Amino acid sequence: MNYKIENKYLEVEIADLGAELQSIVRKSDGKNLLWNGDKTYWGRRSPLLFPTIGVCKEGSYLYGGKEYEIGKHGFVKDRVFEVVRQEKDELWFGLKADEETKKSYPFAFALSVGYVLKNSRMRVYWKVENKGEETMYFSIGGHPAFNIPIDGSKRSENFLKFKGVEKLVSTAVNLEYCLIDEEKKDTIALIPDGKGNGYLALTGHLFDNDALLMENSQINEITYCTPEKKEYLTVSFETPIVGVWSMPGDDVPFVSIEPWYGRADGLSFNRKLEDKCCGNVLDAGGTWQKFYEIEIHEEE
């Protein structure tokens, strides 16, 4: 079932399946800026990644002397959440561990996802609670995809703007295993704007080797821009890792910005859950909460 929240500027629709965004409509012109999930390209829109991100080495991980099989990006994206709070401009979903989740993740977790509107911005909150009696290890991340272009141009004519940087270092993905090749780094030269920021042209071959993966908190704000470099959507975050992903080609009409607390395993990873890169540790009875933000710019 889908639910709506709105204010003067935005109307947002979210499904209880995966607590996944379905649309973000700018009221001033009726444009939906969220990717529509067209299966010709990619059938998701904004899946939540938990309790793992990306692919686990050998499709599983080790914890407490046992092996647990788990699929790419975890399992909550395919679970129905409960609506726990709804107001006109705010909506919260909840999901708790059960016998089925414990087959692939043995912890007693409670996960809350909140969507809160304020003017032309929306905050997406993640709250994780450890309801068990042992230390819990988890990764969590977002995967929202947005329409680009929005004006009839080709994607390759559009840009992403990276605030505060003029170059980036991307860690390579090994396409054969979908794991991280930590020994291979690529420097991404951006187009400087003279103000300390850099633009990235969304050329057709940019995603030939899967996602651009920026580690070590290199960037905390990315803006979608038209061919004229007019800004229309900004994603801001404080995550240690962010991915930028789409499919190869000039005519693929979306690009995903992925703020992550965690990532896929590396080629040489020991497969132990507690040793995952940038994973999170939560003591028994503890609570962890973070958010990222989406801002929709009004047309001038």
pLDDT at 252 over 70: yes
Confidence of residue 68 (pLDDT cuts 50, 70, 90): very high
Contact 40, 106 (CB under 8 A): no
Percent of residues, the chain, with pLDDT higher than 70: 100
Report whether pLDDT(298) > 80.
yes
Residue 7 has pLDDT above 70, yes or no: yes
DSSP string, 130-199: E-SSS-EEE-EEE--EEES-SSS--GGG-EEEETT-SEEEEEEEETTTTEEEEEEEEEEE-EE-SSS-EE
**How big is the CA angle at 19 (ends 70 and 56), to the nearest 5 degrees?**
20
Name the DSSP letter for residue 266: B
pLDDT value at position 70? 97
What proportion of the chain, given as a percentage, has pLDDT over 90? 93
Confidence of residue 100 (pLDDT cuts 50, 70, 90): very high
- Tokens representing 31 are 């444009």
Residue 296 and residue 300: Cα distance in Å, rounded? 12
The values of phi and psi at residue 205, to 5°, are -100, 5
Tokens of 162: 């990276």
**Who's near 46: CB < 8 A, 6+ residues apart?**
20, 21, 34, 35, 142, 143, 144, 145
Digit-coded pLDDT (tens) for 149-181? 998 898 999 999 999 999 999 999 998 889 999
Residues 6+ apart with CB under 8 A from 21: 12, 13, 14, 34, 45, 46, 115, 144
Confidence band, pLDDT 50/70/90 cuts, at residue 249: confident
For 69, 102, 128, the CA distances from 106, given in Å and listed in that order, are 11, 4, 15
- What's the chain's Rg over C-alpha atoms? 19
User: Per-domain residue ranges for the chain?
Assistant: 2-296
The answer to whether residue 290 scores a pLDDT higher than 80 is yes
pLDDT at 229 over 70: yes
- pTM (predicted TM-score): 0.96
Instruction: Name the DSSP letter for residue 76.
Output: G
> Distance between CA atoms of 206 and 103, rounded to whole angstroms?
38
Rounded Cα distance, 5 and 115, in Å: 9
Rounded Cα distance between 279 and 102, Å, is: 19
User: Does residue 300 carry a pLDDT above 80?
Assistant: no
Residues 80-94, mean pLDDT to the nearest whole number: 97
3-state DSSP call for residue 273? helix
Domain 2-296, classified CATH 2.70.98.10, yes or no: yes
Decide if 270 contacts 247 (C-beta within 8 A).
Answer: no
- In sequence order, the 6+-apart residues with CB closer than 8 A to the CB of 30 are none
Contacts of 123 (CB under 8 A, 6+ apart): 114, 115, 116, 291, 292, 293
The one-letter amino acid code at 207 reads F
Mean pLDDT of the chain: 96
> In this structure, how many other beta carbons lie within 10 angstroms of the beta carbon of residue 41?
16
Q: Which amino acid is at 50?
A: F
Query: Is it the case that residue 85 has pLDDT exceeding 70?
Result: yes
pLDDT at position 299, please?
75
Amino acid sitting at position 12: V
Interval 178-206: pLDDT, tens: 999 999 999 998 999 999 999 999 988 89
